[in-house]
Structure 1
Amino acid sequence: MEEDSHVQMMINEDNKMPCGQEIGNDDRTNEQELEGVLVGDEGEKPKAGMVFYSEEEVRNFYNNYAQRLGFGVTKISVKNGNDGKSRYFSLACAQHGKSVSTAKDSYHPRPSTKTNCKAKINVTAKDDGRFIIARVYLDHNHALNPGKVRLRCNKALDSHVKRKLELNDLVGIKRSKNFHSFVEACGFENLLLTGQLRLRFGDAEALCNYFYRMQNRNSNFFFMIDMDGEGCLRNVFWADSRCRAMYESFGDVITFDTTYLTKKYDMPLASFVGVNHHGQSVLLGCGLLSNQDTDTYTWLFKSWLACMLGCAPKAIVTDECKAIQEAVLKVFPDSRHRLCLWHIMQKLPVKLGGLAQYKMIKKIFENIVYESVQPDEFEKSWAEMSIEYNLENNEWLKSLYADRHCWVPLYVKWTFWAGMSTTQRGEGMNAFFDEYVHSKTTLKQFVEHYDNALKSKVEKERKADLASFSSTIPTITVLSIEKQFQNAYTNEIFKLFQDEMRGLIYCNVSVIKREGPMSTFEVTESVVQKDGIYSEEMNYEVVYNETECKVQCLCHLFEFQGILCRHAISVMMKEKMNEVPSHYILERWRKDIKRGYTFMENAYDDYSNNEQRHRSNKLNPLFHELQELGAESDYKCEVLIKLLKEAKETLLAIDSSCETRQINQVIGASN
């Protein structure tokens, strides 16, 4: 075989074997002498000439190497002999090869993981059962991500799980909704719960046991207990170490979720939820409440603020509730407070459904809320609706109008809300535990499965991190601006930016005036319905400051969501800008930022009997602090590197001496 001629054996000087010569089948003595060099060690790089004694050994060796560096592995170029056994194969980087798009819609291309990477090892199989690395290509043409790579698992489903999935299909339950059926195959606990959260016998004990267990795992676990005058439990708040660490990255905007305080659930659970760099919801704390008055919410908010070391969020979203509004004003006076529009729109049938002309009022109400562009336009239309339908004395509408700056889109769009939509119940506004809490879950059941819920969220984020790092959403234009965001943002956020790129074909730009560095443009956007029928034209004023390289659009999408709008991009193109200024690429949405909480151990795994994990848990906070200190300057970085290398040598010497003593003890006992 051609590849066999390229086998280069790594030998020592005494053997005098020339490079390129294979070890013969009858040369077992030399092979035994060389075995320590030839057989791949776990921490070693692949080298031509390494010898293994099964295909599994080769794969395990290369998989371990790939995980350390941060790339996936795939098997290619398999050649079998007449006996059906492998004679030659290659293990390559998972981004090997070129991607050929099969998407019918070129405006919605599918993610690609292929970069034509050449990194691989070629392996030949000998008749005597040896597997030898013939060629090695180590260089990758893409970034590597140590610690974030997940190797594919080909574990077959057992008959029980297969049958369960088949039954789910028969009754119409989608597999994507039956995560527990899949995790059984991979060894996770059943994550799906039944029931409703209620305070019953054993609930308090379960909660205390959970707090004790979590504090044992990590001393940064935080909880507060509120007792009444008679010493009875009234309110509880808690946040684990990961929640607290995530707040450093995603604490700019939070949602206070009160879904489980409604009559539908009849539960005392409230949660603080943020949005991560993929637009996924992340938990930032939980509370169990005995009441829904201002004092209770004030206690909870103060407890949460103490947990987060007094750092209030820049913006907070809550339901329309006077008690919550008063508590927010007391505890977070400097935070921008927004009422969830989705919750308000859900109340329309309850508050106005009894009116004779409800359908018409609802249509006008929605049009005023969603289509108003300027404040005077909104206020004029609201007044006309109130007079025409005799709604001036409706108390609910009067309170909404008084709070209009807290919920109407045109009033709140100046503030950054991390993509928490004003028009629907987006990801960030979902009840965080919806998959785990149902109509009859007791508090004891909830606490027992709380870790599973958090573990699932951690896993989703890791998968999204891996997808953003190892796959690329193809661009839909040749514009360098789109390429700039493709390289910077996570896949899910880049998709949102591509929606604006698609909208460019409906935009027409014209100059209104130019005064020195300031230019004002009018962007006319043709609004086309889903059926392709032209609807109307919308005009947006865009102001461009050439000196500061800043552009501001009347729609304020960038201020609201952190995504440049199609109108602003249209102006940039007209001004022949080939690159977006750095202040329009937010770190919050970037995929290449190493955030502190990702270095933490998973606090939701039970490792009570794992002493190594306990020791690792003690070391991780110190490592994180050292990393932050070392990153402050080049000098500190060099000092830290030197100290860590010295520490590594010391630890390796300790391991080596201990091993030597153990071997000597064994030899002495045998003598």
Structure 2
Amino acid sequence: MNKWVVKEFMADHNHPLVEQKNVQFLRSHRVIKNADKAQLNAMRGVGMGTSQIMDYMVQQSGGYKNVGFTKKDLYNHVDADRRVHLRDGDAEGALAYLCGKSEMDPSFYYKYNVDEDNRLANLFWADSTSKLDYSYFGDVLAFDTTYQTNAYKKPLVILVGINHHHQTIVFGCALLVDESVSTYTWVLETFLDAMNNKKPLSVITDGDKAMRKAIKRIFPDSCTVEEFECAWNDMLEMFNLHGHKWVTDIYAKRSRWAEAYLRGHFFAGMKNTQRCESMNAYLNRFLKTRLKLFEFVKHFDRALSRIRHNKAKAEFETHHSSAVLTTKLYALEKYAGTVFTRQCFLKFRDGMKNAELFFPVSTENHGGYRVHTLTKFRSPDKIWKLVFHVPT
């Protein structure tokens, strides 16, 4: 029972034959070979999109008819491969990846917390290179929030600084559940824990109120300057600005902009969050908006590798090439080229050019004018006198 018996075979086709140019669309003739899969995985690993990979493979094989599969086949394979990686859960996959990194890198640090439904809320991580960079260059910390960097639209915070090549470096990264004071407080507390409780001298951010409150809570140090207060009150009296709303608001924020309050603080040349914004723009080249969490952390590592390669290149240029000397202060400039990194040397050389070759020796006041006595580098026996008439 339930058996079929062939009684007659007819060799003629019961449908029109497909033209040779359309054979490429037959399911029986379409297959993604193992070599193609390996190449696909390698290209996806460096961030190439599926459509771009298809175009490359078509060109490589000499046309669509020779590639052996369609773009839909390629997309189906990618989706199936992602489902395999996600079968244990996306968040679990991301945490497993970070756990694997910690096994290979003993100084690797990652921490997370979960919400009331036991779902991943906040995630922070920093590898040994980031921790080492912070130990050397952590006097100034800058961070900002960026969006649209993953499939869940979780806010991304990248904590950055500047190294001795004037390059932006990454100290740590966090994916957040929201932008509340408590969340930012968690980020800063976790960051300090990762960095052995070393606090920065200066913190630069975009001015977000929740972020400012968290900074004040974790980094409470502040100061007052009597001279600034006196000058401010004089200005209010002179221009009758008492009660002016904008003046009152900007005064309340004086500790974040007034030079008197910032004097003595080191900012490594940063005055705003432009470095953060540039870093976010750079990372967007590696991070797509639909990336799942486990994909995100992998692609973030790839971006870090590129950043650190640039640092290695700057180190090579500093130690294995000679600075070009352009000023007349040859001996001083040559010595500076041996003790500074190349970027620091260029900034120092600009300062030398601005200072020119003359040095002030003395200044005499004569009523309506002043006489400045100057000498010249390597010509101590010669002097120049500059007369400056004081405007009345």
User: TM-score range with shorter-chain normalisation?
Assistant: 0.5 to 0.7
Change (3 A) 1:383 1:496: farther
The 8 Å contact of residues 253 and 316 in structure 1, kept in 2 or not, is answered as yes
Change (3 A) 1:273 1:384: farther
Q: Does 1:307 align with 2:223?
A: no
Q: Which residue of 2 aligns with 1:502?
A: 353
For residues 526-562 of structure 1, what are the alpha-carbon distances to aligned partners after superposition, in whole Å with 9 as ceiling and x for unaligned? xxxxxxxxxxxxxxxxxxxxxxxxxxxxxxxxxxxxx
Separation in 1 of the partners of 2:235 and 2:378? 35
Structure 1 segment 467-478 matched on structure 2, within 5 A = 467-478=317-328
Q: Per-residue deviation at 1:442?
A: 4.3
Instruction: Give the residue type in structure 2 aligned to 1:446.
Output: F
Q: Which residue of 2 aligns with 1:393?
A: 245
User: 5+ unaligned residues in a row in structure 2: which ranges?
Assistant: 1-42, 51-82, 365-369, 381-392
Query: Which of 142, 145, 167 matches 1:255?
Result: 142
Instruction: Give the residue type in structure 2 aligned to 1:392.
Output: H
For residues 146-203 of structure 1, what are the alpha-carbon distances to aligned partners after superposition, in whole Å with 9 as ceiling and x for unaligned? xxxxxxxxxxxxxxxxxxxxxxxxxxxxxxxxxxxxxxxxx99535689xxxxx9754
Change (3 A) 1:398 1:232: farther
Q: Does 1:280 align with 2:167?
A: yes
Change (3 A) 1:447 1:501: same
Separation in 2 of the partners of 1:523 and 1:427? 48
Q: Which residue of 1 aligns with 2:306?
A: 456
Q: Secondary structure at the match of 2:327?
A: coil
Q: Does 1:215 align with 2:102?
A: yes
For residues 450-479 of structure 1, what are the alpha-carbon distances to aligned partners after superposition, in whole Å with 9 as ceiling and x for unaligned? 221111011101111011111222222232
The 8 Å contact of residues 279 and 427 in structure 1, kept in 2 or not, is answered as no
For residues 386-413 of structure 1, what are the alpha-carbon distances to aligned partners after superposition, in whole Å with 9 as ceiling and x for unaligned? 95xx99224xx64333112213456425
Structure 1 segment 220-235 matched on structure 2, within 5 A = 220-235=107-122
For residues 229-255 of structure 1, what are the alpha-carbon distances to aligned partners after superposition, in whole Å with 9 as ceiling and x for unaligned? 443322111111221122221112111
For residues 72-128 of structure 1, what are the alpha-carbon distances to aligned partners after superposition, in whole Å with 9 as ceiling and x for unaligned? xxxxxxxxxxxxxxxxxxxxxxxxxxxxxxxxxxxxxxxxxxxxxxxxxxxxxxxxx
Structure 1 segment 92-241 matched on structure 2, within 5 A = 190-191=46-47, 202-241=89-128
Q: Per-residue deviation at 1:213?
A: 2.0
Q: Secondary structure at the match of 1:478?
A: coil
Change (3 A) 1:408 1:490: same
Separation in 1 of the partners of 2:358 and 2:291? 51
Q: Does 1:290 align with 2:141?
A: no
Change (3 A) 1:575 1:310: farther
For residues 496-539 of structure 1, what are the alpha-carbon distances to aligned partners after superposition, in whole Å with 9 as ceiling and x for unaligned? 111212212498847358xxxxxxxx999xxxxxxxxxxxxxxx
Change (3 A) 1:329 1:258: same
Separation in 2 of the partners of 1:193 and 1:317? 35
Q: Secondary structure at the match of 1:257?
A: strand
Q: Secondary structure at the match of 2:274?
A: coil
Q: In angstroms, what is the RMSD of aligned CA positions?
A: 4.3
Identical-residue share of aligned pairs (%): 30
Instruction: Give the residue type in structure 1 aligned to 2:46.
Output: N
The 8 Å contact of residues 270 and 287 in structure 1, kept in 2 or not, is answered as yes
Q: Which has the higher helix share?
A: 2
TM-score w.r.t. the length of structure 1 is 0.38
Q: Secondary structure at the match of 1:258?
A: strand
Structure 1 segment 543-558 matched on structure 2, within 5 A = none
Q: Does 1:321 align with 2:208?
A: yes
Separation in 1 of the partners of 2:259 and 2:181? 26
The 8 Å contact of residues 221 and 239 in structure 1, kept in 2 or not, is answered as yes
Q: Which residue of 2 aligns with 1:425?
A: 274
Q: Per-residue deviation at 1:332?
A: 2.0
Separation in 2 of the partners of 1:188 and 1:462? 25
Quick one: higher RCO (CA 8 Å, sep 6+), 1 or 2?
A: 2
For residues 253-300 of structure 1, what are the alpha-carbon distances to aligned partners after superposition, in whole Å with 9 as ceiling and x for unaligned? 1112223489xx954211211211101111111111112111111111
Q: Which residue of 1 aligns with 2:37?
A: none
The 8 Å contact of residues 274 and 284 in structure 1, kept in 2 or not, is answered as yes
Q: Which residue of 1 aligns with 2:23?
A: none
Q: Which residue of 2 aligns with 1:181?
A: none
Separation in 1 of the partners of 2:233 and 2:377? 35
Instruction: Give the residue type in structure 2 aligned to 1:249.
Output: Y
The 8 Å contact of residues 279 and 428 in structure 1, kept in 2 or not, is answered as no
Instruction: Give the residue type in structure 2 aligned to 1:327.
Output: A
Q: Per-residue deviation at 1:214?
A: 0.6
Instruction: Give the residue type in structure 2 aligned to 1:393.
Output: K
Instruction: Give the residue type in structure 2 aligned to 1:454.
Output: L
The 8 Å contact of residues 146 and 155 in structure 2, kept in 1 or not, is answered as no
Change (3 A) 1:510 1:223: same
Separation in 2 of the partners of 1:310 and 1:467? 34
Structure 1 segment 217-616 matched on structure 2, within 5 A = 217-260=104-147, 266-334=153-221, 392-394=244-246, 398-409=248-259, 411-421=261-271, 425-426=274-275, 430-431=279-280, 433-479=283-329, 480-505=331-356, 509=360, 511-512=362-363
The 8 Å contact of residues 215 and 221 in structure 1, kept in 2 or not, is answered as yes
Separation in 2 of the partners of 1:523 and 1:318? 46
Change (3 A) 1:230 1:425: closer
The 8 Å contact of residues 94 and 295 in structure 2, kept in 1 or not, is answered as no
Q: Which residue of 2 aligns with 1:130?
A: none
Q: Which residue of 2 aligns with 1:165?
A: none
Q: Which residue of 2 aligns with 1:565?
A: none
Q: Secondary structure at the match of 1:326?
A: helix
Q: Secondary structure at the match of 1:224?
A: strand
The 8 Å contact of residues 274 and 428 in structure 1, kept in 2 or not, is answered as no
Q: Per-residue deviation at 1:381?
A: 6.8
The 8 Å contact of residues 143 and 276 in structure 2, kept in 1 or not, is answered as no
Change (3 A) 1:334 1:404: closer
The 8 Å contact of residues 272 and 286 in structure 1, kept in 2 or not, is answered as yes
Count of residues paired in the alignment:
291
The 8 Å contact of residues 315 and 335 in structure 1, kept in 2 or not, is answered as no
Q: Which residue of 2 aligns with 1:90?
A: none
Q: Per-residue deviation at 1:335?
A: 8.1
Change (3 A) 1:294 1:465: same
Q: Per-residue deviation at 1:378?
A: 7.5
